[in-house]
């Protein structure tokens, strides 16, 4: 039963206006500080406290000589001149110059002039102190104000993503159940949810499993969103709200990704490596799978944020680039696309999807910009970044280089020299323990080595490396400490070293100093003296250390062979001193200085050049890379012809040279976009997700990219539990997977749905987070969403009944002025089929209409007009011919007459020939009462009423018009349903429609086409035609019988255009059965 509702028909009481002022003391203090800070500037602009004019010194002396000046005040180097006409002017003298000397030099007697020297030492000192302290206080107040005004964890000025949840902190959501009307049954079901959020321990104590998700299902406008807010308001918990489409963007970035060949810097437990994003991400997926995958223990090079304290119209602060820092990666993501964009900029190129963002520099900060919106001339954000600022004290522009923040002192790192293999030692021990008890071939098969190896071990001829090292003549340590000397050796080795069976360095015959340096460093680091020096016939010198262990040590950390050289993976965490020693060793061994003063280093290892590019950039050294192909046939002195060679040259400009002794200005070219081109593509694209500040570096040189945001909403909700997450229009992302129609492609909805399910499954009983979702298309939802443990509670909201509509009208009438003629019960009767949103819109339109006409109050005429406007649209003043207008008038009069004199129909409420929307006119027949069932008699009466317009046209004009098309279509639909679905014909209670099975929300779970034979189909058509023809005959009888009243109604319409119920009944009389069965269709209209 529905709860009793007190009926209110009288005019709501006049609005009592209560003014509530919330004064925030911190806002007041902040405003005072801000005023004090800017007051001197304002006074200066307005001329308050300043002199009228500034004159040069010669003019001032001339005026003194001419006795135009009454007195002079001297403040340090400023002369404040008070003229006899009371004007004040300012002149300045040279630093240290005596005013008396100036007067004497200008032949002015100082004794005849009134002047005073003002001692401002204390005032100046105080002014300087205030100028320093006041901004600090102001900024401190600003910081505290921002902290107080921001919701905990809800605002992040460095969140560059477009999609964000609307967040209401605890106590900030003031909507309650009292603000939501017409959904009493739904509110009762949600009381338990509120109680759980308020008292979770009560449910946990008894072992009850509280719902993780609640699905609000119902047509548009019935109050689903308001009800969700009311739950949060009643429970007094934080409320996180986001639309389904925004949720999809937040979770997967709408497929925003870069191509797989984009280099990224990854830090894992075993070290740091520069790797292509495709190679890194692919290892988390099977062959053709795609979507979002969680990762652990992964970091990448991300954004180090700063703010510039820029005062703008939208924000108090603005994010600026502060360099780079290591940031955690939450997930990786890949999917397939058909096209990409190639961004060509000064210094490289990036290939990405249209929706992926890159960061661009703007005045005062940086911002993320989608690739499809980039234009030539935009400047990308990359490492290193040159910024500049004006130094007012020195009157110069200073340049600053933003880069990665490396430690000032490198951590102590010890490298394992011998690289012992524990498995090899275990195998050796197994072979020796079973000597004489097992055959050698059996031992070899068991431990995975050759029989000869087992034999050598057992005979003592050879030993495993870990054991045989003791017998080595050269005494090497177990560990080697990383020092600047070792790093320079690694640099020499990377340039000119080889580690096959021994350690060997090769230099030119004219590089004797380098040979000596290598020998010296090897002695300092390893204690090795007197290497073998070999002079070759190709003008080169080889330094050889005959130790395979030493060769393997260098090979492990720097690679072997020209094409396979790379940086030591621990170098990414070392200070600048260590890196520069490595770079110096590499440059001296394999580079030169050009005529222009640039450093040039060439390698056939693309990986090495990429790593050097990144590491130089991270240390603030701007580099360029030149890619070249050398033709085959070239030869070195006495050497064989060389094959075609591909090489990369690293170039460091003169202004960035870290080894030059002169002052480095630090000027270098910016990453200006030259072109953005769309290209076809068929393959996977990739992204890193969940990186803090939504940014990571990628590309041939480190360029700041925008990453996808994942779990942000869920993480915030968990952090503030108990809390509510509300996803509006969840059908946008929660549709049944596999039915999207995107055959063979990728559907971001599926990835988002998967992530929602993962997050909901991850809720623990102690987290007290409930997900509320709303939809008006429950038939589209994936069954996985409705399983227990997910959205296991469903709450259905329907259109409000009469009592509900009255309650909704009461809520939305607050704050509006209504006349005494308002009858709320009548309005509730008039608005059958209106949702809560429709009713709110109706009252608002009524208020607007009354205000437009300068009425002091809203009356019933305003509400009637607004109700019609809400359902049919605004009136259109179409120019119609007299004939068209007459046809429309008789058509609508025909509907009204047939409806009025048909016993089973409700009273006519309104008739109009004013065009609205696509209709030329309408006849409004709202039901007297809400109902859910239809009888055969009622349906036949409806058909008769629908055909009243056609009957009137034929009887009066002896013609059929196209204006009845909508009536005929609606009537035919009802007649066909009576025959095919409802069994209301002579064919009997048989369903001739398709065989279907529907789910909980009306979704079609199973469907089979109609199998009726052609003969049966003909009988069905005949039955439908029979119903339609009988309805038209009944309508024609009534039109003919009441022809005189039909003429009067049509004439009234032609004069007034709109006739209401009272005017209509004055013409035709009161309806005998006023409580008739009624018509389901509210409006019968003519189509234009």
Token pair in block for residue 408: 């000032």
- The helix/strand/coil state of 850 is helix
Higher pLDDT, 256 or 233: 233
Same domain for 591 and 727: no
Where residue 312 falls among pLDDT bands split at 50, 70, 90?
very low
Higher pLDDT, 734 or 585: 585
Same domain for 719 and 703: no
DSSP label of 832: T
- Does the pLDDT at position 686 exceed 50? yes
Nearest to 528 by CA among 595, 474, 488: 474
Where residue 868 falls among pLDDT bands split at 50, 70, 90?
confident
Which CATH number goes with the domain that contains 819? Answer: 1.10.8.60
Check: CB of residue 290 under 8 Å from CB of residue 684.
Answer: yes
- Does the pLDDT at position 921 exceed 70? yes
pLDDT attached to residue 173: 64
Region 237-266 average pLDDT: 72
Region 387-405 average pLDDT: 75
Of 748, 776, 796, which marks where a domain is finished? Answer: 796
- Does the pLDDT at position 707 exceed 80? no
449 within some domain: yes
Higher pLDDT, 337 or 558: 558
Using CA atoms, how far residue 111 sits from 70, 116, 972, in Å, is 14, 12, 116
pLDDT above 70 covers a percentage of the chain that reads 76
75 within some domain: yes
- The helix/strand/coil state of 421 is coil
Q: pLDDT tens for residues 890-912?
A: 998 999 999 999 888 888 888 88
Where residue 131 falls among pLDDT bands split at 50, 70, 90?
low
Using CA atoms, how far residue 565 sits from 256, 560, 578, 630, in Å, is 33, 6, 19, 20
- Does the pLDDT at position 296 exceed 80? yes
Higher pLDDT, 255 or 412: 412
Where residue 494 falls among pLDDT bands split at 50, 70, 90?
very high
Higher pLDDT, 647 or 787: 647
Using CA atoms, how far residue 1006 sits from 779, 990, 993, 1003, in Å, is 13, 19, 13, 9
pLDDT attached to residue 207: 76
749 within some domain: no
Which CATH number goes with the domain that contains 1003? Answer: 1.20.58.760
Residues 6+ apart with CB under 8 A from 12: 810, 813, 814, 818
pLDDT attached to residue 992: 80
Q: Which H/E stretch holds residue 549?
A: helix 548-558
Where residue 145 falls among pLDDT bands split at 50, 70, 90?
low
- The helix/strand/coil state of 182 is coil
pLDDT attached to residue 1032: 92
Give the count of beta carbons closer than 10 Å to the beta carbon of residue 148: 11
Q: What angle do CA 245, 249, 252 make, to 5 degrees?
A: 130
- Does the pLDDT at position 320 exceed 50? yes
Alpha-carbon gap, residue 496 to 587, rounded angstroms? 10
Q: pLDDT tens for residues 521-547?
A: 999 998 888 889 988 877 889 999 988
Alpha-carbon gap, residue 834 to 1083, rounded angstroms? 13
Where residue 991 falls among pLDDT bands split at 50, 70, 90?
confident
Which CATH number goes with the domain that contains 278? Answer: 2.170.16.10
Q: Tell me the average pLDDT of the chain.
A: 78
Same domain for 647 and 530: yes
406 within some domain: no
Same domain for 264 and 247: no
C-alpha dihedral (837, 839, 845, 846), degrees to nearest 10: -170
Region 567-585 average pLDDT: 92
Q: Which of 120-124, 672-676, 692-696, 1064-1068 has the lowest mean pLDDT?
A: 120-124
Higher pLDDT, 211 or 1033: 1033
pLDDT above 90 covers a percentage of the chain that reads 14
Token pair in block for residue 603: 């390698």
506 within some domain: yes
- Does the pLDDT at position 305 exceed 80? no
Give the count of beta carbons closer than 10 Å to the beta carbon of residue 985: 21
- Does the pLDDT at position 247 exceed 70? no
Same domain for 702 and 682: yes
pLDDT attached to residue 147: 53
Which CATH number goes with the domain that contains 558? Answer: 3.10.28.10
Per the structure, how many domains does the chain have? 7
Strands (E), 577-672: 591-593, 599-603, 623-630, 645-652
CA 650 to chain CA mean position, Å = 37
Same domain for 1079 and 993: yes
pLDDT attached to residue 614: 92
Check: CB of residue 391 under 8 Å from CB of residue 382.
Answer: no
Alpha-carbon gap, residue 457 to 447, rounded angstroms? 13
Which CATH number goes with the domain that contains 191? Answer: 3.40.50.300
Q: Which H/E stretch holds residue 718?
A: helix 712-719
Which CATH number goes with the domain that contains 103? Answer: 3.30.720.210
Where residue 490 falls among pLDDT bands split at 50, 70, 90?
very high
- Does the pLDDT at position 28 exceed 50? yes
C-alpha dihedral (783, 785, 786, 789), degrees to nearest 10: 130
1008 within some domain: yes
Q: Identify the bridge partners of residue 696 per DSSP, sorted by sequence position.
A: 302, 705
Q: Would you call the peptide bond into 722 cis, given omega within 30 degrees of 0 as the criterion? A: yes
Where residue 231 falls among pLDDT bands split at 50, 70, 90?
confident
pLDDT attached to residue 142: 62
pLDDT attached to residue 172: 59
Token pair in block for residue 75: 């403040």
Region 800-818 average pLDDT: 85
Query: Given the DSSP bridges, would you call strands 723-728 and 239-243 parallel, antiparallel or unpaired?
Result: parallel
Q: Which of 330-339, 413-422, 863-872 has the lowest mean pLDDT?
A: 413-422
pLDDT attached to residue 750: 63
Q: Which of 367-376, 465-474, 495-504, 904-913 has the lowest mean pLDDT?
A: 465-474
Residues 6+ apart with CB under 8 A from 592: 600
Same domain for 985 and 888: yes
Same domain for 1072 and 984: yes
Query: Given the DSSP bridges, would you call strands 673-689 and 258-259 parallel, antiparallel or unpaired?
Result: antiparallel
Percentages (nearest 5) of helix, strand, coil residues in the chain: 40, 25, 35
- Does the pLDDT at position 776 exceed 70? yes
pLDDT attached to residue 159: 46
pLDDT attached to residue 925: 84
Higher pLDDT, 1020 or 160: 1020
Catalytic residue positions? Answer: 892
Q: Which of 125-129, 539-543, 878-882 has the lowest mean pLDDT?
A: 125-129
Where residue 253 falls among pLDDT bands split at 50, 70, 90?
very low
Same domain for 1080 and 994: yes
Q: Count CA atoms closer than 13 A to 587's CA, side-chain side.
A: 20
Region 434-447 average pLDDT: 84
- Does the pLDDT at position 877 exceed 70? no
Q: Which of 691-695, 713-717, 969-973, 1056-1060 has the lowest mean pLDDT?
A: 713-717
Same domain for 303 and 351: yes
CA 962 to chain CA mean position, Å = 51
Nearest to 570 by CA among 459, 415, 707: 415
Q: Which of 146-155, 512-521, 742-751, 864-873 has the lowest mean pLDDT?
A: 146-155
Of 92, 125, 158, which marks where a domain is finished? Answer: 125
Q: pLDDT tens for residues 506-516?
A: 998 888 999 99
Same domain for 1041 and 1054: yes
Kindly provide the b/e burial profile for residues 391-401, where b requires at least 16 CB atoms within 10 angstroms of the residue's own CB. Answer: eeeeeeeeeeb
- The helix/strand/coil state of 1022 is helix
Range of the domain at 273: 257-382+671-707
Higher pLDDT, 223 or 1002: 223
Alpha-carbon gap, residue 334 to 114, rounded angstroms? 85
- Phi then psi dihedrals of residue 359, to 5 deg: -90, 140
Of 95, 125, 155, which marks where a domain is finished? Answer: 125
160 within some domain: no
Region 578-584 average pLDDT: 93
Q: pLDDT tens for residues 377-388?
A: 888 888 888 777
pLDDT attached to residue 507: 92
Where residue 50 falls among pLDDT bands split at 50, 70, 90?
very low
773 within some domain: yes
Where residue 1085 falls among pLDDT bands split at 50, 70, 90?
very low
Region 736-762 average pLDDT: 58
Residues 6+ apart with CB under 8 A from 307: 157, 317, 318, 319, 320
Token pair in block for residue 688: 């890193």
Check: CB of residue 361 under 8 Å from CB of residue 319.
Answer: no
Query: Given the DSSP bridges, would you call strands 769-775 and 213-217 parallel, antiparallel or unpaired?
Result: parallel
Check: CB of residue 1048 under 8 Å from CB of residue 1067.
Answer: yes
Higher pLDDT, 1002 or 574: 574
pLDDT attached to residue 469: 53
- Does the pLDDT at position 266 exceed 50? yes
Where residue 155 falls among pLDDT bands split at 50, 70, 90?
very low
Using CA atoms, how far residue 43 sits from 35, 36, 49, 92, in Å, is 12, 11, 7, 21
Alpha-carbon gap, residue 709 to 707, rounded angstroms? 6
Same domain for 681 and 620: no
């Amino acid at each position: 039963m529905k709860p009793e509702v007190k009926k209110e028909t009288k005019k709501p009481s006049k609005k009592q206006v209560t003014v509530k002022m919330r004064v925030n003391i911190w806002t007041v203090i902040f405003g005072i500080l801000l005023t004090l800070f800017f007051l001197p500037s304002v006074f200066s602009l307005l001329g308050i406290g300043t002199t009228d004019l500034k004159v040069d010194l010669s003019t001032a002396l001339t005026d003194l000589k001419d006795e135009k000046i009454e007195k002079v005040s001297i403040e340090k180097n400023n002369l404040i001149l008070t003229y006899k006409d009371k004007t004040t002017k300012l002149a300045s003298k040279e630093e240290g110059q005596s005013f008396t000397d100036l007067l004497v030099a200008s032949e002015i007697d100082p004794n005849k002039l009134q002047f005073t020297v003002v001692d401002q030492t204390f005032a100046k000192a105080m002014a300087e102190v205030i100028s320093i302290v006041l901004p600090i206080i102001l900024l401190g107040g600003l910081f505290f104000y921002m902290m107080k005004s921001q919701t905990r964890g809800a605002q992040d000025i460095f969140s560059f993503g477009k999609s964000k949840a609307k967040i209401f902190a605890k106590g900030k959501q003031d909507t309650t159940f009292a603000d939501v009307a017409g959904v009493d049954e739904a509110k009762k079901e949600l009381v338990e949810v509120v109680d759980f959020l308020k008292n979770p321990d009560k449910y946990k104590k008894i072992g009850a499993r509280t719902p993780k998700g609640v699905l609000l299902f119902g047509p548009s406008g019935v109050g689903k969103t308001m009800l969700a807010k009311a739950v949060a308001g009643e429970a007094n918990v934080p409320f996180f709200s986001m639309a389904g489409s925004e949720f999809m963007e937040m979770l997967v970035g709408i497929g925003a990704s870069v191509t797989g060949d984009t280099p990224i810097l990854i830090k894992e437990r075993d070290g740091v490596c520069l790797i292509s994003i495709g190679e890194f991400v692919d290892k988390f997926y099977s062959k053709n799978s795609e979507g979002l995958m969680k990762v652990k223990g992964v970091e990448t090079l991300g954004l180090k944020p700063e703010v510039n304290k820029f005062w703008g119209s939208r924000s108090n602060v603005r994010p600026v680039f502060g360099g780079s820092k290591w940031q955690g990666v939450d997930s990786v993501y890949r999917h397939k696309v058909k096209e990409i964009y190639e961004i060509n900029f000064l210094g490289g190129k990036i290939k990405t999807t249209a929706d992926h963002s890159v960061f661009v520099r703007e005045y005062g900060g940086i911002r993320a910009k989608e690739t499809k919106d980039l234009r030539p001339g935009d400047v990308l954000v990359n490492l290193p970044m040159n910024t500049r600022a004006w130094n007012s004290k020195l009157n110069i522009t200073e340049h600053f280089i933003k880069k990665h923040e490396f430690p000032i002192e490198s951590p102590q790192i010890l490298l394992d020299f011998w690289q012992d293999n524990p498995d090899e030692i275990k195998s050796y021990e197994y072979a020796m323990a079973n000597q004489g008890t097992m055959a050698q071939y059996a031992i070899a098969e068991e431990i995975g080595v050759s029989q000869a190896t087992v034999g050598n071990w057992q005979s003592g001829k050879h030993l495993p490396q870990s054991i045989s090292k003791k017998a080595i003549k050269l005494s090497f340590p177990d560990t080697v400490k990383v020092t600047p000397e070792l790093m320079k050796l690694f640099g020499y080795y990377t340039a000119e070293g080889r580690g096959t069976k021994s350690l060997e360095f090769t230099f030119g015959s004219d590089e004797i100093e380098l040979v000596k340096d290598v020998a010296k460093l090897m002695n300092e680091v390893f204690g090795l003296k007197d290497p073998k020096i070999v002079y070759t016939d190709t003008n080169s010198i080889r330094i050889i250390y005959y130790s395979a262990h030493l060769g393997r040590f260098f090979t492990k950390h720097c690679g072997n062979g020209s094409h396979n050289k790379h940086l030591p993976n621990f170098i990414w965490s070392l200070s600048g001193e260590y890196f520069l020693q490595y770079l110096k060793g590499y440059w001296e061994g394999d580079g030169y200085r050009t005529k222009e003063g640039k450093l040039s280093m060439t390698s056939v290892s693309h990986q090495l050049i990429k790593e050097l590019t990144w590491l130089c950039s991270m240390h603030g050294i701007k580099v360029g890379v030149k890619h070249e192909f050398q033709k085959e046939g070239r030869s070195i002195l006495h050497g064989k012809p060389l094959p075609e060679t591909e090489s990369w040259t690293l170039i460091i400009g003169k202004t960035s040279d870290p080894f030059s002794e002169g002052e480095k200005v630090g000027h270098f070219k910016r990453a200006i976009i030259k072109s953005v081109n769309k290209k076809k593509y068929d393959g996977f694209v990739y992204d890193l997700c969940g990186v803090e500040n939504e940014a990571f570096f990628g590309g041939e040189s480190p360029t700041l990219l925008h990453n996808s945001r994942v779990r942000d909403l869920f993480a915030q909700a968990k952090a503030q539990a108990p809390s509510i997450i509300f996803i509006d229009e969840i059908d946008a992302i929660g549709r049944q997977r596999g039915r999207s129609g995107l055959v063979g492609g990728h559907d971001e909805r599926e990835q988002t749905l998967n992530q929602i399910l993962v997050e909901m499954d991850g809720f623990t009983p102690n987290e007290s987070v409930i997900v509320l979702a709303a939809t008006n298309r429950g038939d589209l939802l994936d069954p996985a969403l409705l399983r227990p443990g997910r959205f296991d509670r469903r709450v259905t909201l329907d259109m409000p009944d009469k009592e509900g509509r009255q309650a909704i009208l009461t809520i939305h009438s607050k704050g509006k002025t209504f006349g005494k003629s308002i009858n709320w019960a009548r309005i509730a009767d008039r608005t059958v089929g209106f949702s809560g949103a429709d009713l709110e819109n109706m009252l608002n339109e009524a208020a607007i209409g009354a205000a437009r006409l300068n009425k002091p109050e809203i009356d019933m005429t305003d509400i009637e007009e607004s109700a019609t406007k809400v359902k049919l649209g605004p009136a259109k003043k179409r120019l119609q011919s007299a004939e068209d207008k007459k046809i429309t008038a008789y058509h609508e009069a025909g509907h009204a007459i047939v409806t009025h004199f048909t016993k089973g129909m409700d009273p006519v409420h309104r008739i109009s020939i004013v065009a609205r929307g696509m209709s030329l006119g309408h006849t409004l027949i709202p039901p007297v009462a809400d109902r859910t069932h239809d009888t055969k008699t009622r349906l036949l009466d409806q058909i008769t009423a629908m055909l009243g317009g056609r009957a009137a046209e034929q009887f009066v004009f002896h013609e059929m018009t196209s204006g009845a098309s909508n009536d005929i279509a609606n009537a035919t639909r009802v007649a066909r349903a009576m025959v095919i679905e409802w069994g209301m014909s002579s064919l009997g209670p048989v369903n001739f429609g398709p065989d279907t099975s529907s789910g909980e929300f009306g979704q079609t779970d199973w469907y089979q086409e109609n199998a009726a034979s052609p003969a049966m189909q003909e009988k069905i058509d005949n039955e439908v035609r029979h119903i339609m023809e009988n309805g038209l005959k009944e309508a024609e009888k009534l039109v003919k019988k009441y022809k005189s009243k039909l003429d009067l109604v049509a004439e009234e319409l032609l004069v007034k255009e709109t006739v209401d119920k009272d005017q209509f009944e004055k013409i035709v009389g009161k309806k005998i059965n006023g409580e008739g069965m009624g018509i389901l269709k509210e409006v019968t209209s003519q189509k234009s």
